[in-house]
Structure 1
Amino acid sequence: MTTGALSEPQDGTEFEQLLRRVRAEADSRGAQAERAELEALARDGGPGARDALAEVLAETGRPLWAQEMAAFALGCAGDRRAFETLVFLLNYRDPLRGATAAHALVRLRDPRTARAAAALATNELRTAYALHPVRVLVALRAPESVPALVSLLGRLLDGPGPHWPIALACVEGLGRIGDARARPVLREAAAHHRLRPAAQAALARAGG
């Protein structure tokens, strides 16, 4: 577990991208002071700052952008008080918020993350928002990862209108993991011209 917020270079880059987006949202609502305070706490990363950020997540009525900032900083610091908010944002309808949540969840290293991501990825009612849960599963390579990705990809291949970007993410992710259990569904994916190159490459890595 890391000991301070935004301690890795990639975390700082992701945070700056988050800030550019949040500044426009917060400042347009006249919340410059609140946003500046949260930014300072996130950059601080000390125990007191993390406690203050955790209070933001516990308070009712806080705007979503404030919760996102606090959860991202806590998640990158390895503080598990961010878990519930990050999981909520992972499957949010805004893909940018899903991306930042995925980044923080991978760094959080909470043992509950893989199960939560698998549940979100395989939820048939939330398929349109499954891309970032898929990416979390691939990054974690947890015991839940391959079964969830295989299940989701199989359903997308069988369905009348598959979400091709999500199916492609499953194929590429299974290739990176390289688990032999994925061979049957990857062979099915190779029959679809949009997925064929990625599926063939994934099969090679999975020993198929």
Structure 2
Amino acid sequence: MEQSPPRHRTGVVALAGLALLGLAGAAYAVRRPLLMSAPACLAGRWHGCGDTENGVLLMMLVGLPAAAVVAWALARHRRATGAPSAWRASLAEVGMIYGTAPMVWLTLMPGPGAGTAPGRTSLVPLRDLATMGPLGVAGNLLIFAALGCFAPIRFAALASLPRILALGAGCSVAVETLQYVLRLDRVSSVDDVLVNAAGAALFGLASRRWWRRTATPTATRPRPAPAPAD
């Protein structure tokens, strides 16, 4: 009788499939703006590619096969050394780094008055939400989405909603502080922090099926029975 595949392997396949479907849907929705930067990116020009939102997102999609190869190599190394959950840990590491670094780069792109315009802040909660618009809110939700989704899968210590919120908020505060200190001609807003943290938490909930399972063994591992007395 043929045995069914291990549960952990099924979970990894489902996680990877969910991530790919999300990326494919997002790419299809914004396919026209992305293709506008394709000529500059294919020609290897920084201007028009690496310094534009469309170019960075396009190169992020183009680099997915390379990211998959890195995840495969890490998983193969872990399996060779006998490490547990090799695929799960490798996909989570690559996913949270590859999905977060380009988004952070987008938030740190300098504006036209970078270096000359003074730093600006907006510290009144919910005041800037009305001016963000649907695309602005969606973009802010995605900044730390990959971090919120994959970090609790990789690190059991982060496998709780309050900790994911704290992680997203802390990373967002760091980015907003850099925007102000480096005088990038951007507004450092408390609403950006709130929406960034909410995005991390929402995508953390989307992967809860996997990160709760990651945290379970350390919390419910039975204690060894005491040795019998002589």
Measured against the shorter chain, the TM-score band is: 0.3 to 0.5
Q: TM-score, normalised by structure 1?
A: 0.35
Higher CA-based Rg: 2
Q: TM-score, normalised by structure 2?
A: 0.33
Point out which structure has higher relative CO (alpha carbons under 8 A, 6+ apart): 2
